[in-house]
Amino acid sequence: ARNLITRTWITPQQYTTPVEINIFGDKVAFLSFGNEFVGFSIQSPQIAKAFQEIFALAKSAGTPSTPPVSVSSSGRIPRHSFE
């Protein structure tokens, strides 16, 4: 069996929160390096898959597949017609 690692590096200006999230197998680990050092992990295939999909969506955010949706000051999302 091969262990594959994918790392994504971002600049400190893009992500200022001192928290690291790691996904490995069916586990998700959270590490906080702020004023206090805290870490915990969750073992759940569903949660690991959800974070994998969230990371994939965030990575592809630079190339949206649909036009962005704006929210009005009332908090309501206006209806749009996409062609």
In angstroms, rounded to a whole number, what is the distance separating the alpha carbons of residues 12 and 60?
19
Supply the pLDDT for residue 9.
73
Question: b/e for 28-50, b at 16 or more Cβ within 10 A?
Answer: beeeeeeeeeeeeeeeeeeebee
Please give the chain's pLDDT, 83 residues, in tens: 566 677 777 777 888 889 999 999 999 999 999 899 999 999 999 999 999 999 888 888 755 455 555 555 555 555 544 44
Give the pLDDT of residue 49. 96
**How confident is the model at residue 2, as a pLDDT?**
66
pTM summary value: 0.61
